[in-house]
Structure 1
Amino acid sequence: MLSVHTSPLDQPGTGDAGGMNVYVVELSRQLAALGTEVEIFTRATAGHLAPAVELAPGVLVRHVDAGPYQGLSKEELPAQLCAFTHGVMQIWAGEHPGYFDLVHSHYWLSGQVAWLAAQRWGVPLVHQMHTMAKVKNASLATGDTPEPAARIIGETQVVRAADRLIANTAEEADELVRHYAADPGRTAVVHPGVNLATFRPAGDRAAARARLGLPRDALVPLFVGRIQPLKAPDILLHAVRELLDAEPSLRGRLVVPVVGGPSGSGLARPERMQRLAARLGIADLVEFRPPVSQPELADWYRAATVLVMPSYSESFGLAAAEAQACGTPVIAAAVGGLPVVVRDRETGYLVRGHDPADYARVLRRFADDPGLCDRLGAAAARHARRFGWKATAGGTLAVYADAIAERRFRRPHLAGA
């Protein structure tokens, strides 16, 4: 596996680390548990890192030196792809012929390296976009920075080179065909998973709130994710202001945790959300918390009344699946994969558009009906069980098998020609 721009060892919610990190870690662990050894190549971001680290039995993370350890933004990484590729090839040269059966790349930067590696090693390339420039640019948040043309070109090249593409949802598969002329016959849909051992209902909401120091009877709309315009935490803050304008008596009941760190274009103004909360007059209600480990994150989900995901674009929406697995309903934008993860009016609510007033009206339902959280949460926990990582790994292995079988079929055919 190739994950150039963000390490699977990084804490999700910091810098560029997010759902893709969780995806690579959990998928690799499950593949290894099913008998497929995995080596993950990622860029070294500190001098003290060991060249190879065992992430789990059968899963090895290899750190490749490419550019300075610190201070490189994601936008500067294309200039280091040659150095990264050289490092990958050096490691490969030390192994026996046929060491790798297949290359699986994540995000377009990794795809550029994987394209060359797969050709050099004579193995299939399976690629996963996770996000797409053309899709993001079509639904930019106000003031956000468009993805550059170089990324669009790079994504188009990788789509053409890949033996197989994995999409998180049927909608993402359609977007690959529509925006990048992907071959539908080589595009497979495999839903991401949830660690159901960690993210599960455990005890009652009051116990989770006690552990986190939250009031027992509070209305707690939770935001989890990287703090950047794409994820739209500002929509939640504006919605809270709208809710208070409509029902001032709720002020004594509201606590609004925002769990995550600045990322992407949000790094330019890391204090933006704090200033917005102050300007809206709700700074006393909003608690900004740094990214946390998965066990603690599960407690935040359990403690919340509802998770709010007003994102402008989501290829899947892993946080929504995690929250539901913990028995917490979700209010989400009806974009990308979120309509697959959230069943409207059954496990949460889908909101068309990004008008804070619409989110405020849904939040008001939870304020007016204390039993709504538990009713939707029970259905959410049942729904989330279909998203286990074992199923994801099984679907991914089927894609691998198809790609390998097709490559083997082509070789004798070409030799005979």
Structure 2
Amino acid sequence: MRIAMVSEHASPLAVLGGVDAGGQNVHVAALTGALAERGHDVTVYTRRDDPALPERVRTAPGVEVVHVPAGPPAAVPKDDLLPWMPDLGAWVAADWATRGAPDVVHAHFWMSGLAALHAAEPHGVPTVQTYHALGSVKRRHQGAKDTSPAGRVSAEAAIGRRVDAVVATCSDEVRELTRLGVPPERVRTVPCGVDVDHFRPVPGAAGPFARTRRHRLVCLGRLVERKGVDTVLRALAGLPDAELLVAGGPDPGALADDAEATRLALLAERLGVAGRVHLLGRVGHADVPALVSSADLVVATPWYEPFGIVPLEAAACGVPVVGSAVGGLLDSVADGVTGVLVPARDPDALAAAVRGLLDDPARRRAMGAAARHRALARYSWRGVAAQTELVYRSLTSPARAAERVEDRVEEVAV
């Protein structure tokens, strides 16, 4: 199959760890690579954010990244990109007119959905949407701090009713989509994945340095407030024999200028735990398995989480997770089997759950083994790509193509 991906702000080539570079970048890069390994030809369209970028980059056999001129060729916060989505869609449509239309287009994030629908309509290309995050959830948890454009929620609902299929990544998202009025028969559930070959247990790993306390906790991910690292700091006050390593954010040399890193450092000082907290900044992809494997537990306590790849990375490394009972963690962490779930933003509940596992090494080992097994069975990118391919094929079968033509004729008649 010829597959197009539209990922307007999250390039698969981006350096991870920034405010707008995280799980979606990993998802798009890994999914395209796994689909290419299955024999498909995949083109990823993303916005040009640097004038020096070439128009087209062949990243692997069967995978090409195209940098689309839509908006200024500079870094722009994703919430400010909406005005240029028609330009992105029009450019993609013109590219298909020249090079041939794909069999299916898969949009990642709601703005990409607008661009993908704009490009697909004149060519009759089936459209698939993955939101990665829903505006209704973001507004519920961030309130006035939500910087999404006005009309995001209504646009997401409209996209869900117009595309041929919506790929939800977890059961919590399915419930949210139903509330938005997206037809249930249009929604398929395919989880995010993890590279189970790269993320694997590293026996005897010390991470970036030897432990300074009896126990080690690790937090990993973008350094933004909603990830809830402050909850972990408050819990740490009641765990005197544990140290905390926080990986994510800018390069280590730039941490002093990072607002969230500064806020967390000041909070650690006030709580009296600064000597046991190590802000590592960005950790290279190659070093993450050793970092995770050096921990007794990985702690993931976001306020909300559309899916969250960190619990999968921990599971693949055979390390239990103590996490918030929100979003994708409700699926990715089997409570009591591969980790423990606690209420979000509750440091007392978090400290109690962590202490219970730190005091029971046999239970931790059993959970770690179960987590690795579950990651292999459910979350490998090879398996996720196979499930995604089934969605595509359900839309490109001759019978489904005929249905699409009939639908278009009815729309024109109306």
Establish whether TM, by shorter chain, passes 0.5.
yes
Q: Which moved more, 1:272-281 or 1:145-154?
A: 145-154
Q: Deviations over 1:301-348 (max 9, x none)?
A: 111111111112122221101101101000011111212111112111
Within a 5 Å distance, the mapping from 1:237-252 to structure 2 comes to: 237-244=233-240, 250=241
1:293 Cα deviation from its structure 2 partner: 3.1
Partner residue in 2 for 1:380: 371
Alpha-carbon spacing, 1:372–1:297, altered in 2? closer, same or farther (3 Å): same
Within a 5 Å distance, the mapping from 1:38-53 to structure 2 comes to: 38-53=42-57
Provide the C-alpha distance between the structure 2 equivalents of 1:5 and 1:267, rounded to a whole number of angstroms. 21
1:9 Cα deviation from its structure 2 partner: 0.7
**2:205 is the alignment partner of 1:208:** yes
Within a 5 Å distance, the mapping from 1:44-123 to structure 2 comes to: 44-96=48-100, 99-123=101-125
Provide the C-alpha distance between the structure 1 equivalents of 2:153 and 2:270, rounded to a whole number of angstroms. 37
Q: Deviations over 1:260-290 (max 9, x none)?
A: 117xxx9765522122222222222111122
Is the 8 Å Cα contact of residues 171 and 331 (structure 2) preserved in structure 1? no
1:197 Cα deviation from its structure 2 partner: 0.6
Equivalent residue letter for 1:28: T
Alpha-carbon spacing, 1:267–1:148, altered in 2? closer, same or farther (3 Å): farther
Provide the C-alpha distance between the structure 1 equivalents of 2:327 and 2:153, rounded to a whole number of angstroms. 19
1:168 Cα deviation from its structure 2 partner: 0.8
1:412 Cα deviation from its structure 2 partner: 5.9
Is the 8 Å Cα contact of residues 227 and 303 (structure 2) preserved in structure 1? yes
1:80 Cα deviation from its structure 2 partner: 2.0
**TM-score (norm: length of structure 2):** 0.90
Q: Deviations over 1:86-137 (max 9, x none)?
A: 33234223214xx311110000110110111111211111000111011222
Alpha-carbon spacing, 1:357–1:283, altered in 2? closer, same or farther (3 Å): same
Partner residue in 1 for 2:146: 145
**2:40 is the alignment partner of 1:36:** yes
Provide the C-alpha distance between the structure 1 equivalents of 2:55 and 2:348, rounded to a whole number of angstroms. 51
Q: Which moved more, 1:293-302 or 1:386-395?
A: 293-302
Partner residue in 2 for 1:255: 243
Is the 8 Å Cα contact of residues 111 and 158 (structure 1) preserved in structure 2? yes
Partner residue in 1 for 2:254: none
From 258, 261, 283, the counterpart of 2:274: 283
Provide the C-alpha distance between the structure 1 equivalents of 2:31 and 2:291, rounded to a whole number of angstroms. 24
Partner residue in 2 for 1:393: 385
Partner residue in 2 for 1:247: none
Is the 8 Å Cα contact of residues 29 and 59 (structure 1) preserved in structure 2? yes
Question: What are structure 2's unaligned runs of at least 5 residues?
Answer: 251-256
**TM-score (norm: length of structure 1):** 0.89
Partner residue in 2 for 1:188: 188
Query: Aligned residue pairs: how many?
Result: 398
Within a 5 Å distance, the mapping from 1:263-274 to structure 2 comes to: 269=260, 271-274=262-265
From 226, 232, 238, the counterpart of 1:236: 232
Q: Secondary structure at the match of 1:255?
A: strand
Q: Deviations over 1:42-90 (max 9, x none)?
A: 1112122111111221010001122223342122111222332333234
From 393, 397, 408, the counterpart of 2:401: 408
**2:334 is the alignment partner of 1:316:** no
Q: Secondary structure at the match of 1:140?
A: helix
Is the 8 Å Cα contact of residues 236 and 359 (structure 1) preserved in structure 2? yes
Within a 5 Å distance, the mapping from 1:216-235 to structure 2 comes to: 218-235=214-231
Equivalent residue letter for 2:195: N
**CA RMSD, 1 decimal:** 2.2
Give the % identical residues. 35
Provide the C-alpha distance between the structure 2 equivalents of 1:21 and 1:66, rounded to a whole number of angstroms. 19
Q: Secondary structure at the match of 2:137?
A: helix
Is the 8 Å Cα contact of residues 331 and 349 (structure 1) preserved in structure 2? yes
Q: Which moved more, 1:341-350 or 1:217-226?
A: 217-226
Question: What are structure 1's unaligned runs of at least 5 residues?
Answer: 245-249
Is the 8 Å Cα contact of residues 48 and 73 (structure 2) preserved in structure 1? yes
